[in-house]
Amino acid sequence: MKLKLISTLLYVCWALSGFAQNLADSLQNALKANPNPEDKTIILNRLADYWREDEPQKAEKYAQDALKTAQSNRYAEGEANALRNLGEIYNRQELHSQARKSFLAAWQVYQKIGDDLRCAYALDGVGLSYYWQNDYKPAAEYFAQALPLAVRVNDAETQALILNHLGAAYFFQADYEKSLANYLQALKLYEKTKDLIGKREVLGNIGNIYKKLENAPKAELYFKQALQISQDTQDDFGTAQALTNLGALYDDKADYGQSLPTYQKALDIFKKLKDQNAEAIVLNNMGIVYSKMKKYDQALEYLAKSLKIKELIDDKKGVAATLSSMGDMYVRKGDYEQGLVFYKRSLRMATEIRAKENQKEAYKGIAEAYAALKNYQQAYNYYLKYDEVKDSLYLNSGKLAEVQSQFGVDKKELQLKLNYLEKENKNLIQAHNRWFWLSIAIIGVLSMLLIALLSILYLQNRQIKKLKKNLIPETNLENLTEKISPNGHSLTEKPS
C-alpha cells in the first residue's frame, strides 16, 4: 500500500512539475510513462476533470478510459471517480438522464467503499440533474439525502453547498419557509468558512425570498450586502447579479429612471461574461420596464430577444416567465386576445415543469384578460384557479417569524445594516480625506504664489526708491511724494 502511495505521488508530482508547458501536457507525459493501472486511472480522471469545462467531449473520452481501466483492474475508488466525472460532464452537456445514471452508479460504489463525503457529492449531482430540468421536487429529495452525509463527516464547505442547492429547490417550488431555513443555515456556514463567494450568493438568494414576499426594505438590505462583497472581491458575475436584483426592486417601486440604468450595467457585464441565461433574464426585466412605461415597441424588442435566448438554451421556466411578460405587455396595450395567447402558452409550460409561481401569474393574467373581454364566466373560472394556487403558496407569517428567530435573523440583519453603513461611512471619510488633502495642497500652492508676489513687489519697491534717489534732488523729494499719492490714487480728479 505504501509503495502504491509513493508511486502515485511520484506521478502526480511529475504531472505538476515545471518541465512541461501546462498541466494537460504534464498529465499526458505522465500517461506516456506507462504507469501502473491505479495511477493511470488517477491521471485519466485528472485529464477528464481538466477538459470538462472547455472540451466536454474530450473530457468524456478520458473519463470513459478511466472507467474501463479501473473496472478491469478492480480499482473501486477510481471507478467511482470516473463515474462521477461522467455525471458532471453529462450535466454540463445537458444530458441529464445520462448524468443521473452515472451519479447513481458512482454513489453505489462509494457506498461500498464507505466514502460518505463522496456519496454526498454523487447524490448532490443527481439532485442537480433534476434541478437543471426544472424538476424541483426530486431535486430537493436528493439534496436532502446528501446533506446528512456531509454533516456526518463534518465537512462545513459541502454542507453549505448542499444547503444552498436545497434552498434553491424549495424556492422554485414556492416553499419559502423551507427555502429561507436552508439559506440561513448555509449563510452561517459560509461565514464560518470565510467563503465570500458562497456568502455573496446566498445573501442574494435570501434577498429574492424577501422580494417575493414583497418586503422591499429587507430585500434591498441583502442585495446591497451581496453587491458590496462582489465589488470588494472584484467578482463581475456577483456584481451583475446584485445589480439585476436591485434593478428589479427599483422596478417594483416604479423608479424606472433608476431601474433601467441598473439593468443596463448588469446586461453589459453578463454579455462580457457570455452568460446567456443571465443575459436573457435581464433582457426580460428590461422589457417589463418598457412595457410599464408604455413603450411597447421597445418592450417587444427586449422580450423577443429574451425569449429567443431562453428557447435556444432550453430554459423552460425562463420561457414560461417571458411568455407571461409578453402577455402582460399586450394586455397593457389593450390587445387582450393576443395577451390570452401568450398567457396560455406560459401556463402550458409552467404546468409541464410544475412551476407554481409561473402558474399563478399565468392564471391571474388569463382571468384579467377574460374580464377585460367581458367573458366573466371564464374570468371567474381562472380566478378560482389563481386563488387555489396562490393559497398553496401562502406562507404562514408565524412560521416565517419562527424560522427567522431560530437563526437570529434580526441580529444578522442588524449586523448587515451596520456593515453597510460602516462601508458607506468609510467611503465618506475617504472622500472627505481626499478633499482635505487637496485643500491643503491648494492652500500651499496659493501661499507660495502669494509669497512670490510679495517678494516681487518688495524688490520692485526697493528698485523704485533707489531710482528716485539717483534722479531727484533730496530737497524736492518730499513735494513729489505728496503729488504722487497721499491717498493712494495715481490719477488726478476731474473738476466738477
| pLDDT, position 293 | 95
Please report whether residue 203 resides in a domain.
Answer: no
Domain boundary among 114, 134, 164: 114
pLDDT in the model for residue 13: 45
Residue 354: per-residue pLDDT? 83
Please state the φ and ψ torsions of residue 48, each to the nearest 5 degrees: -60, -45
Q: Can you tell me the distance from the alpha carbon of 206 to that of 203, in angstroms, rounded to the nearest whole number?
A: 5
pLDDT at 300: 94
Cβ pair 249, 220 in contact under 8 A? yes
Q: What is the pLDDT of residues 369-423, one digit of tens each?
A: 999 999 999 999 999 999 888 877 654 444 555 555 555 555 444 444 444 444 5
Whether 385 is in a domain gets the answer: no
98: containing domain:
7-114
CATH number of the domain within which 31 lies: 1.25.40.10
Among 114, 130, 154, give the residue marking a domain's end: 114
How many domains, the chain?
2
Residue 218 counted as domain residue = no
Residue with cell 448532490: 124
Give a yes or no: residue 163 inside a domain. no
Question: Residue 374: which region, alpha, beta or left (left: phi > 0; alpha: psi -120 to 50)?
Answer: left
Model pLDDT, residue 18 = 45
Taking 70 as the pLDDT cut, the residues of the chain under it are 1-21, 393-496
| The length of the chain, given as a count of residues | 496
Alpha carbon distance 425, 334 (integer Å): 49
Look at residues 278, 294, 314 and tell me which one is the last residue of a structural domain.
314
Domain membership flag for residue 246: yes
Q: Which residue, among 89, 76, 90, has the nearest Cα to 118 in the 3D structure?
A: 76
Q: Is residue 175 part of a domain?
A: no
Written as nine digits, the cell of 181 is: 431555513
Query: Does some domain include residue 282?
Result: yes
Cα gap 207→242, rounded to integer Å: 10
C-alpha cell at 172: 422554485
Cβ contacts of 247 within 8 Å, gap of 6 or more: 259, 260, 262, 263, 266, 282, 285
Residue whose cell numbers read 508676489: 453
